[in-house]
Amino acid sequence: MRAFDPRVTPARADLAAKELEGKAAAARYVAGEVYEVIEPQAPLRGEPSHDAPLLTEALKGERVRIYEKNDEGWAWGQLAADGYVGWLSANALTPPGAPPTHKVAALRTLVFPGPSIKLAPLEALPLGARVAVARREERMAVTQSGGYLPEVHLAPIDVYEADFVAVAERFLGVPYLWGGKTTLGLDCSGLVQIALAACGISCPRDSDMQEEALGSPIAAATDRSDLKRGDLVFWTGHVAIVRDRANFLHANAFHMAVAIEPIGDAIARIRGAGGEITSVRRIAL
Q: Are 211 and 279 in contact (CB under 8 A)?
A: yes
What pLDDT was estimated at residue 157? 97
> Is residue 87 pLDDT above 90, yes or no?
yes
What pLDDT was estimated at residue 137? 96
* DSSP designation for 144: T
DSSP calls for 185-216 = EE-HHHHHHHHHHHTT----SSHHHHHHHSSE
Q: Are 4 and 85 in contact (CB under 8 A)?
A: no
Nearest to 194 by CA among 183, 181, 185: 181
Cβ burial of 60 (10 Å; 0-12, 13-18, 19+) is: buried
List, in order, residues 6 or more apart from 148 with CB less than 8 Å away. 111, 112, 113, 114, 115, 137, 140, 141, 142
List, in order, residues 6 or more apart from 235 with CB less than 8 Å away. 270, 275, 276, 277, 278
> Is residue 249 pLDDT above 70, yes or no?
yes
Q: How far is the C-alpha of 5 from the C-alpha of 276, rounded, in Å?
A: 24
pLDDT in tens, 186-243: 999 999 999 999 999 999 999 999 999 999 999 755 556 689 999 999 999 999 999 9
Mean pLDDT value across residues 24-50: 97
Element (H, E) at 53: none
> Is residue 285 pLDDT above 90, yes or no?
no
Q: How far is the C-alpha of 83 from the C-alpha of 100, rounded, in Å?
A: 19
pLDDT in tens, 159-170: 999 999 999 999
| Phi, psi torsion values for 91, nearest 5 degrees | -70, -15
Q: How far is the C-alpha of 10 from the C-alpha of 165, rounded, in Å?
A: 32
pTM score, two decimals? 0.95
Q: How far is the C-alpha of 126 from the C-alpha of 167, rounded, in Å?
A: 13
